[in-house]
Amino acid sequence: MWSFFHKLGSPPWLYRISGSILRWLLPLTLLGLALGMTWGLFFTAPDFRQGNSYRIIYIHVPAAVVALAGYYVMATAGAVSLIWKMKMADVALRAAAPVGAALTFVALLTGAIWGKPTWGTWWVWDARITSMLILLFLYLGVIALYEAYDNKEAAGKACAVLSLVGTVNIPIIYKSVDWWYSLHQPASIKFTGPSSIDPSMLYPLLLLIISFYALFTCCLLMNMRVGILQREARTKWVRKLVGL
Amino acid sequence: MHPVRKQRLIIVLLVVLFSSAAVGLMAYALRGNINLFFPPVEVLSGKAPVGQSIRVGGMVVEGSVQRSPDSLEVRFEVTDNQATVPIVYAGILPDLFDEGQGAVAAGVLDEQGVLHATEVLAKHDENYMPPEVADALEASKAAAAQAEEAKQ
């Protein structure tokens, strides 16, 4: 197990293995997204109260779920980078931030678009929406903080601490609709007991959630590959790779 | 594990622990302010300020919606099954506003305990189903109620 962990710290090995993972994961992801979107947007019945506008759930929920999970990926990378001083963990942290920020933004945007016809407003400062906005600022903060340092080692350390401190926000977002009176409804997909979304609508949603996880992984790996090349630009193996 | 790394691991855990505790205490101190709206029972027990802009949320009472014939004014009541608050609103209601559904109204309470709303939002619940399933559910509920009546 430790040998695998040490291999993860080796840039050429990580670059090679991520390339071969992407070769099959990327087409699979695109297939899953295309299937799930077609299924959800064209072949499911409209909702009994919302009609067709509920279909935004097929983008909103997967994006929000993976935006939360992605934060844990980023924070874990931060912890590994602080404890083991692993450079590749820094690269992973820096690679995860823009992907997470994009997903959070998509969740907020689709939520606003859905909120207008459903609630009657684009935006309301309730606990769920506000904590989600804080998540977006945390992601953007990590990006900005990293860019603010000239010394990338110090930048990695500062970003790792920021991302670790921010983890407290994730359970708050998740439980906000249960802890406080909010306009946002509680979760429809339940891990214990039957879900309050009809199975015919649930299956494409689950497929899309899995596909969004895969999409996050693909974007993370692709970003990391760029990060590795930038970081290792002066080394022999990169020069050989680009034919210098 | 190397002692230096172990020490750093402990520091990382402490950072997470203390920041969580700090935010947790903050959320606890602000718990009343984080709620988007007052439930009717808190309005009746006098926890909601009179004469200030507040939000009240609950289920719209069945049969309580009265529309004025010559203006946009609408009166309805919201309940949390413990208390009800009457609401007056002049404006266009959201499409999903309906009796027996959740709603959140923003406005000012008067001395009689009536909320003069400036904005009414529909609160959607977490139930998603196709119309046929909803009809079937309704029909089976009605059949069960009939069977109950026949028994008595």
Encode pLDDT of A55-72 as tens digits.
Answer: 999 999 999 999 999 999
How far apart CA A200 and CA A44 sit, in angstroms, is 7
Q: Residue A52 contacts by C-beta under 8 Å, 6 or more apart in sequence?
A: A46
Q: Does residue B30 belong to the interface with chain A, where contact is any CB pair within 8 Å? A: no
Listed by number, the residues of chain A in 38-77 with a beta carbon closer than 8 Å to a beta carbon of chain B are 44-50, 54, 57
Evaluate whether B109 touches B54 at the Cβ level (below 8 Å).
Answer: yes
State which residue of chain A sits closest to B135, comparing Cα positions: A48
Average pLDDT over residues A18-35: 96
Give the per-residue pLDDT at A1: 65
How far apart CA A78 and CA A71 sit, in angstroms, is 10
Average pLDDT over residues A155-179: 92
Residues B62, B7 share a domain: no
CB contacts of A125 in chain B (<8 Å) are: 36
Give the per-residue pLDDT at A106: 97
Which of A76, A83, A161, A163 best probes binding to B when mutated, by most B CB atoms within 10 angstroms? A83
**Average confidence score pLDDT of chain A:** 92
pLDDT exceeds cutoff 80 at A5: no
Q: Does residue B27 belong to the interface with chain A, where contact is any CB pair within 8 Å? A: yes
Q: How many CB atoms lie within 10 A of CB B7?
A: 12
Residues of chain B predicted below pLDDT 70: none
Q: Do B93 and A167 touch (CB under 8 A)?
A: no
How far apart CA A128 and CA A124 sit, in angstroms, is 10
pLDDT exceeds cutoff 70 at A87: yes
CA atoms within 13 Å, Cβ hemisphere of A168: 18
Ordered by start, the domain boundaries in chain A are 13-44+55-186+198-241
pLDDT exceeds cutoff 90 at A22: yes
Residues B57, B43 share a domain: yes
CB contacts of A117 in chain B (<8 Å) are: 94-96
Give the per-residue pLDDT at A166: 93
Binding residue per annotation — B2?
no
Evaluate whether A100 touches A71 at the Cβ level (below 8 Å).
Answer: yes
Is residue B109 one of the residues assigned to a domain? yes
Residues B117, B68 share a domain: yes
Is residue B138 one of the residues assigned to a domain? no
Among B47, B123, B80, CA closest to A182: B123
Tens-place pLDDT, residues A37-56: 999 999 998 888 888 889 99
Beta bridge partners of B38: B56
Give the per-residue pLDDT at B89: 93
Give the per-residue pLDDT at B134: 84
Q: Residue A71 contacts by C-beta under 8 Å, 6 or more apart in sequence?
A: A100, A135, A138, A139, A163, A166, A167, A169, A170
Give the per-residue pLDDT at A142: 96
Give the per-residue pLDDT at B29: 85
Residues B65, B20 share a domain: no
pLDDT exceeds cutoff 80 at A171: yes
Report CA-CA distances (Å) from B26 to A80, A159, B35, B47, B89: 28, 23, 14, 21, 35
Q: Do A197 and B126 touch (CB under 8 A)?
A: yes
Q: Do A83 and B15 touch (CB under 8 A)?
A: no
Residues B118, B54 share a domain: yes
pLDDT exceeds cutoff 90 at A224: yes
Evaluate whether B94 touches B120 at the Cβ level (below 8 Å).
Answer: yes
Tens-place pLDDT, residues A98-154: 999 999 999 999 999 999 999 989 999 989 999 999 999 999 999 999 999 999 889
Residues B44, B27 share a domain: no
Evaluate whether A59 touches A102 at the Cβ level (below 8 Å).
Answer: no
Residues B27, B41 share a domain: no
CB contacts of B20 in chain A (<8 Å) are: 167-168
Average pLDDT over residues A202-229: 96
Give the per-residue pLDDT at A48: 86
The count of structural domains within chain B is 2
Residue B17 domain boundaries: 3-32
Residues B40, B10 share a domain: no
Residues in chain A: 244
Q: What is the CATH classification number for the domain harbouring B54?
A: 2.40.50.140
Residues B114, B57 share a domain: yes
Q: Residue A72: left if φ>0, alpha if ψ -120 to 50, beta else—which one? A: alpha
Is residue B139 one of the residues assigned to a domain? no
